[in-house]
Structure 1
Amino acid sequence: MTIIEIPAGWPADEPTARAVQQELSGRLVRDEEGPAVGMGHVTGLDVAYDDERDLVAAAAVVLDARTLEVVEEATAVGRVSFRYVPGLLAFREIPTVLAALDRLTADPGLLVCDGYGLAHPRRFGLASHLGVLTGRPSIGVAKNPFTFTYEQPGPERGDFAPLLAAGEEVGRALRTRARVKPVFVSVGHRVSLPNACAHTLHLTPRYRIPETTRHADSLCRSALRDALGEA
């Protein structure tokens, strides 16, 4: 088992990480529509942790955007690269996530993160961070609300309500299953919010969370179990 080490020069404290966020956020592209729904590939990204052993396992699962069948998958296991600080979660996992992405041979297409993009205190969550670093279109689809207010969307699939931060719409609470609690969609990079929601609905034909996330969640947990078995 090869452990991805923390890159040299990786931010080690909160002020440095915030400064990196601020610098990278200036590179965000917010005026592109993004890839068409059902075209090309979509890639789910997720991580699993074992804090006692200071390990994080990342999974990248490429799906055919039309059929939602798995095209390719890759994993990586690395050291947790930053302590837990709300709003700085990306710094804990990005080196390992990038390592998993680098092991793919297929074009990842749209990146779908189990987390946030613009719906973030500094408008630069994990989906935005990964989008800027890779240059790829990205969205965040989170299971739980974070630092914003919202009204409950209508009860039917496709109903949504804006996520508001200081009066700005930073995402949407989107109902992917009728009368089931919503997911929280936000733009990462190079995708519009309506298109991000359209992709999310396409990726949830049967369950509340996207198929991309379901596959990546299962795979990263399996990779972590394998790594712990070898440790």
Structure 2
Amino acid sequence: MEIPPFPKPESLEAAFALQKALAQRVVLAGSLEGVRRIAALDASHKRGKPLVAVAVLYHLERGPLSVGLGVVPEAALFPYIPGLLSFREAPAYLEALRALPEAPEALLVDGQGIAHPRGLGIAGHLGVHLDLPSLGVAKSLLYGRPEAPLPQEAGSAVRLLSPDGRPLGYAYRSRAGVKPLYVSPGHRVGVEEALAFARALPTRFRLPEPLRLAHLEAGKALRALD
């Protein structure tokens, strides 16, 4: 797939400015109804090793189709700064997407969408950069608060709200009794539609199956570097 170059900011000030500008381009509308071919994205890194990112091309009716891998040497990584993780991980994700034999219709990212202090987590950043529908499914909460306690039943969800009460996404219980996931739209999908898509994904464990496979592949790729 054709992927535009990813700009690497030369300073923290430039990174914050670019993030703010890209956040203004996020479109919080759209449905993923009819989407079948997605890229599930996860990354892994260990001190002293390159960062590896994996894109699993996954067909929602046929299962996994192929795996793309991206590797960025540790010396080339953007510094680890909370809230600016996309500048660190996105180059590896884009390399992994380039390695896929065909382009996905949407991105499913292990990370945040708009549930981010400046409205642009890794799912939003990649979605805007590639102009693809995207959503984030994160294992931990970065920003916002659930508006109510989350029931233990599988499929239960409560809205995530910003400090000023704007909806950012949902805390979502994918399986009964497991820790919640945090679903937020990244780009070209609405808040409700992002949750509906996450709920419809095949899920055998806590993570939706496409992301679980991406997580396993990323861990395997990192171990192969030892």
TM-score by length of 1: 0.88
Shift of 1:105: 1.3
Partner Cα separation in structure 1 for residue 15 and residue 154 of structure 2: 38
- Give the equivalent residue in structure 2 for 1:160: 157
**Distance change in 2, residues 1:200/1:59 (3 Å):** same
Q: Are positions 1:75 and 2:69 aligned together?
A: yes
Q: Indicate which of 14, 37, 57 corresponds to 1:62.
A: 57
- Give the equivalent residue in structure 2 for 1:140: 136
Q: CA RMSD in A?
A: 1.7
Q: Indicate which of 180, 183, 187 corresponds to 2:181.
A: 183
Partner Cα separation in structure 2 for residue 85 and residue 153 of structure 1: 30
- Name the % identity: 37
CA contact (8 A) 1:46 1:59 kept: yes
Partner Cα separation in structure 2 for residue 12 and residue 216 of structure 1: 30
Where do 4+ consecutive residues of structure 1 move more than 3 Å?
Answer: none
1:178-210 Cα deviation digits (max 9, x unpaired): 232211000000111222112212224321111
Q: Are positions 1:107 and 2:107 aligned together?
A: no
CA contact (8 A) 2:162 2:168 kept: yes
| Count of residue pairs the alignment pairs up | 218
Q: Are positions 1:130 and 2:130 aligned together?
A: no
The gaps in structure 1 that reach 5 residues or longer are 1-6
Shift of 1:62: 0.9
Give the 3-state SS of the residue equivalent to 2:145 in structure 1: coil
Q: Are positions 1:92 and 2:88 aligned together?
A: yes
1:102-139 Cα deviation digits (max 9, x unpaired): 11112212201111010000011000000001111000
**Distance change in 2, residues 1:180/1:221 (3 Å):** closer
- Aligned pairs for 1:197-208 (under 5 A) are 197-208=195-206
Partner Cα separation in structure 1 for residue 176 and residue 7 of structure 2: 47
